[in-house]
Every structure is written in structure tokens, then in C-alpha cells.
Amino acid sequence: MAVVIGALRAPEMLARGGLTYEVAGPGGIVNALSLQFLGIHLSSVIGPLVAGQLLHGPGDGALFPGLAAAVIAGAIGVLRIPRRPVAAATGRHAEA
């Protein structure tokens, strides 16, 4: 099972790293990747803790609204990322 999960997550991690570079640019890539991995590891600790508390307290009916709230919060965070201008001829981002 771990091999299947790892094989499915490998393309996701590659795409995430490429997107991080596109958003942060060459000057901020180290900090951006550090924050990205910090977020991944924190969510792998905090997520199960929150889910366990929701299961123990209000019950499994509270998990779906909690998950929906987390997805909406993530979408809002992504939408707040400022856009960088794209050079027309190359399709690459213009360096600021």
C-alpha cells in the first residue's frame, strides 16, 4: 500500500515544486520550499489531531463541514497569491 501511495504522490510533489518555483521565483525558492514542507509536515500532525477531536466530540458528522472549511481556507489562501506579469514572447514570467 505504501508503494502505491508513494507512486501516486510523486507526480504531485514534482508539480508542487514546479508551481512553487513559478510563484516564488529564483530569489525566493529556498524560503518558499521551506514553508511548503513546513506546511506539509504541520498538516500531517495537526490534521489527524483535529479529526480525532471532531470524532470524539461532535461525531463523524462534523468531519465533512470541517474538511470543507479547510478546503475553502486553502482556496482563499491560493487566491490571495499575487500574480506576476508574463512576458508575451516567451511565456515565462517577467523578472521584477
Question: pLDDT-based confidence at 92, cuts 50/70/90?
Answer: low
Q: Report the alpha-carbon distance of residue 11 to residue 5 in Å, rounded.
A: 11
Model pTM score:
0.57
pLDDT digits (tens, 9 = 90+) for 15-57: 888 888 888 888 888 998 898 889 889 988 998 898 888 888 8
3-state secondary structure of 85: coil
Say if residue 96's pLDDT is above 60.
no
> Domain locations in the chain?
2-79
